[in-house]
Amino acid sequence: MFFSIDPQNGVAIYEQLIRQVKFGVAEGTLRPGQLLPSARVLSQQLAINPNTINRAFQQLQLDGVLESIRGKGLAVGPRALASCRKARQSLLEVRIREVLSEALHAGLAPDEVRQMVLKQLGELKGKVPTVSSTVAEETG
């Protein structure tokens, strides 16, 4: 699994890890039973504090996304797919609503906002790498 951390984006690093694991499960890149890298290995790869990774992993365990497998590490839980898809949907709906609210508060008409959204969707189509496409490029 490929993780990408951006310390400048305003989202806490542990929250970025949580989102990326949940999004990876939601899109099928991470499957039930699949082991995640250890906090030590991941901290070396990402050059971040292992305590930050442990915090993210603990939250993912509390959320039922990860489970501890004795002697092996942390793996995606058997019922993680549905909850991760729901979490992804919820998070993105909130973020989209925030952007739309900002545009409307700025005085744009709903039709102007709709045109902006359609334009951006058109420009992004097929150009945004997903977790699975990044993994496929690395292995292929």
**Taking the domains of the chain in order of start, what are their residue ranges?**
13-139
| pLDDT tens digits along 29-74 | 999 999 999 999 999 999 999 999 999 999 999 999 999 999 999 9
Q: Please choose, from the candidates 63, 88, 67, 87, the residue with its C-alpha nearest in 3D space to the C-alpha of residue 76.
A: 67
- Give the dihedral sign, CA 108/109/110/111: negative
Domain topology for 13-139 = Arc Repressor Mutant, subunit A (1.10.10)
The first and second tokens of residue 80, run together, are 């993680």
Confidence of residue 3 (pLDDT cuts 50, 70, 90): confident
Report the predicted TM-score, pTM, of the whole model to 2 decimal places: 0.79
